[in-house]
Chain A
């Protein structure tokens, strides 16, 4: 996916910090929502629909749709409800393992 532009005209932002998603290092202003930071970085697919396997990304941006769910510190959380901080480690969700017989 193409980068989503940050609006620049007349805007000043907090200092840039580095965070990591699945081993990819990205920069974003401290305190930007992770969802916005991923959009700005051109990260398209945030997860796959668990039943249909199709790529999904940010959709509602207000914490309801659950499409931007990621894993941080072992917890599943909506990227639109997390602020980027320095050194943050983000993992995208992996597909489910099937039940063992």
Chain B
């Protein structure tokens, strides 16, 4: 029989890797199993925005602590604190901005409402059609492309086993734990953590658990290098735009416009009908980007559940198995909530409450056993 690990983590994104690191610190012998490469799912293909203005009110305390983790990771992950501006182009959006940002500020984010003129003073490239804006000096970005590289180094330094290009196709439960069957591999582990984002539903189904997980197909685009036209993270009252110019001159444009496809049917696809309005909105905010050429657009699967809160806790009905996923704003929050999850598995008291995956969802989609 091959070596038995204390825990097998399925999913090599931020959540899986960061939890494995916490578990290794706590003395557990962990293995991270990833179907493609580390950090190539949502963790590595998102727009890298570290913006408090687009975080959910309820998750703000987690986001603030997650932000501090990114700041500590620093240059290795391309961290930049630039400040961020969210824009309203009409009165309806201004009202929306005021309502949402006031609540987020009350939740602890250092967000202030500013005039369109103040916004343009901070960011001269902004359109003169801005009627109101909000400003958060803490906003910024990191380079999500470096997620895989960063965690590969961290896992190696912590002597955590890694299996890449190893999709888990079967999981057996035994009295001693779990046997995972992958690409020519059989892995034994006493505990199991599912942290595979958009693929959670399919992997949990291997254990007969139906998680009410769905995946959004978020589109991100990047332009060629250009002269500097913005310095901050530029957003929109609805949250449907994130845009920043990286130090290398390229502009990254996101905002969660939906492509097509699903995790279970292969890759996601960019949809021209949502890509173009996404770019129009970006151009409306900063007209100068009309001159830049788009080099690449892509999609990433962002997992969510009906109440849009994370799944973080015991996998329903399965002893010694846990699930971590569906964290809205998971890039910012990921490194922190993973530590909480690690503490829970280690039997410690997490610093902040987690999100029980057995909580009731609406009747149609509530977590239930398949059999």
**Touch between A and B in complex, CB under 8 Å?**
yes
Interface residues of A (CB under 8 A from B): 50-51, 66, 74-76, 94, 96-100
Measured between beta carbons, the chain A residues less than 8 angstroms from B249 are 50, 96
Q: Are A97 and B226 in contact (CB under 8 A)?
A: no
Measured between beta carbons, the chain B residues less than 8 angstroms from A50 are 225, 248-249
B247 touches A (CB below 8 Å): yes
**B225 closest partner in A (C-beta):** A50
Q: Are B80 and A75 in contact (CB under 8 A)?
A: no
Interface residues of B (CB under 8 A from A): 80, 82, 224-228, 231, 245-249, 291-293
Q: Are B247 and A99 in contact (CB under 8 A)?
A: yes
> With the chains together, A76 CA to B224 CA distance in Å?
9
Measured between beta carbons, the chain A residues less than 8 angstroms from B246 are 99
**A98 closest partner in B (C-beta):** B247
> With the chains together, A66 CA to B224 CA distance in Å?
10
Additional A-B contact list (6), CB under 8 Å, known A99-B231, A100-B231: A76-B291, A76-B293, A96-B248, A97-B228, A99-B82, A99-B228
Measured between beta carbons, the chain A residues less than 8 angstroms from B225 are 50, 96
> With the chains together, A51 CA to B227 CA distance in Å?
14
Pairs of residues from A and B, 7 with the lowest C-beta to C-beta distance, nearest first: A96-B249, A97-B228, A99-B247, A100-B231, A74-B291, A75-B291, A50-B225
Measured between beta carbons, the chain A residues less than 8 angstroms from B224 are 66, 76
> With the chains together, A66 CA to B80 CA distance in Å?
29
Measured between beta carbons, the chain B residues less than 8 angstroms from A94 are 227
**A74 closest partner in B (C-beta):** B291
> With the chains together, A50 CA to B228 CA distance in Å?
14
